[in-house]
A and B are shown apart, each in its own frame.
Chain A
Amino acid sequence: MKLKQIALIYCLLMPAAVFALTADEIAQRVDTRDDGDKMISTMEMTLIDKNGNQRIRKMKNHSMDKENETQNVIFFLSPADVRNTAFLTYDYDDSKLDDDQWLYLPALQKTKRIASSDKSSSFMGSDFTYSDMTTRDISDYSYRIVKESKVREDKVWVMESLPKTEKTIEETGYKKSYMFVRQDNFVVVRALHILQEKGKKKYLDVKKLELIEGIWVATEIEMKTTQDKKVLHKTVLKLSDIKFNQDLDSSFFTVRRIEKGL
Chain B
Amino acid sequence: MADELDEAMSGFDEPIEDELGDFDESGFDDLEFSDNTGEDKAAVLNDADDWYRVSGYGALQFSYNYMQASESTVAPGDMPMDFSGLSSLKLKAGITLDMKHSERWRSKIEAIAWYDSAWAIKGKSKYTDEVLDRYEYFLDIKDAYIQGSLTKNLDIKVGRQKVIWGKSDSIRITDIINPLDNRSPGMVDIEDQRLSELMTRLDYYFGDWGLSGIIIHEPRLEVEPAFGSDYRPSDTFGTPIPYEKFPERENHNWSGSNMQYALSLDGHFTGWDMSYYFARVFDNRFGVEFADTGPVRTIDLINMVGTAGNVALGSWLLKGELALITDINYRSTGRKNRLDALIGVDYMGIKDTVISFEFANRHIFNYEEKMLTMSIEEAVAQSMFPDFVREDSMQMAFRSTYSFDHDNAQINYLLSLAFGNGVGPGFDGGFQRLWVDYKATDAMSLNAGVVHYIAGSSAIPFYRAIANNGRVFSEIKYSF
Q: Quick check: A49 and B406 within 8 Å, CB to CB?
A: yes
How far apart sit A97 and B269, CA to CA, in the bound complex (Å)?
A: 13
Q: Quick check: B313 and A115 within 8 Å, CB to CB?
A: yes
How far apart sit A251 and B210, CA to CA, in the bound complex (Å)?
A: 12
- Given contact pairs A54-B36, A231-B31, A205 touches B13 in the complex (Cβ within 8 A): yes
Q: Which residue of B lies closest to A173 (CB)?
A: B351
- B222-281 residues with Cβ-Cβ distance < 8 A to A are 266, 268, 270-271, 273
How far apart sit A49 and B314, CA to CA, in the bound complex (Å)?
A: 32
How far apart sit A94 and B218, CA to CA, in the bound complex (Å)?
A: 49
Most buried by A among B36, B48, B169, B270: B48
Q: Which residue of A lies closest to B40 (CB)?
A: A54
How close is A175's CB to chain B, nearest CB, in angstroms? 12
How close is A205's CB to chain B, nearest CB, in angstroms? 6
Judged by a CB distance under 8 angstroms, whether A2 is at the interface is no
Q: Quick check: A48 and B38 within 8 Å, CB to CB?
A: yes
Query: Which secondary structure characterizes the binding site on chain B?
Result: loop
How close is B48's CB to chain A, nearest CB, in angstroms? 4
0 or 1 for each of B159-173: is its CB under 8 Å from A? (1 = yes): 001101001010000
- A151-195 residues with Cβ-Cβ distance < 8 A to B are 151-152, 158, 173, 178, 180, 190, 192, 194
Number of residues in B with C-beta < 8 Å to the partner?
78
How far apart sit A24 and B9, CA to CA, in the bound complex (Å)?
A: 23
Q: Which residue of A lies closest to B147 (CB)?
A: A260
How far apart sit A233 and B404, CA to CA, in the bound complex (Å)?
A: 13
Q: Quick check: B20 and A121 within 8 Å, CB to CB?
A: no
Q: Quick check: A192 and B20 within 8 Å, CB to CB?
A: no
Judged by a CB distance under 8 angstroms, whether A5 is at the interface is no
Number of residues in A with C-beta < 8 Å to the partner?
78
How far apart sit A83 and B18, CA to CA, in the bound complex (Å)?
A: 45
Q: Quick check: B268 and A205 within 8 Å, CB to CB?
A: no
- Given contact pairs A118-B349, A126-B406, A226 touches B55 in the complex (Cβ within 8 A): no
Judged by a CB distance under 8 angstroms, whether A124 is at the interface is yes
Judged by a CB distance under 8 angstroms, whether A22 is at the interface is no
Judged by a CB distance under 8 angstroms, whether B3 is at the interface is no
Q: Give the residue of B38, B167, B314, B407 whose beta carbon is less than 8 angstroms from that of A124.
A: B407
How far apart sit A48 and B37, CA to CA, in the bound complex (Å)?
A: 8
0 or 1 for each of A230-262: is its CB under 8 Å from B? (1 = yes): 110110101000000000000100111000111
Q: Quick check: A115 and B316 within 8 Å, CB to CB?
A: yes
0 or 1 for each of A11-51: is its CB under 8 Å from B? (1 = yes): 00000000000000000000000000000001010111110
0 or 1 for each of B332-356: is its CB under 8 Å from A? (1 = yes): 0000000000000010111110000
- Given contact pairs A83-B55, A115-B315, A117-B315, A44 touches B44 in the complex (Cβ within 8 A): yes
How far apart sit A118 and B315, CA to CA, in the bound complex (Å)?
A: 7
Q: Which residue of A lies closest to B45 (CB)?
A: A78
Judged by a CB distance under 8 angstroms, whether B106 is at the interface is yes
Judged by a CB distance under 8 angstroms, whether B21 is at the interface is yes
Judged by a CB distance under 8 angstroms, whether A215 is at the interface is no
0 or 1 for each of A62-101: is its CB under 8 Å from B? (1 = yes): 0000000000000101111101100000100000011010
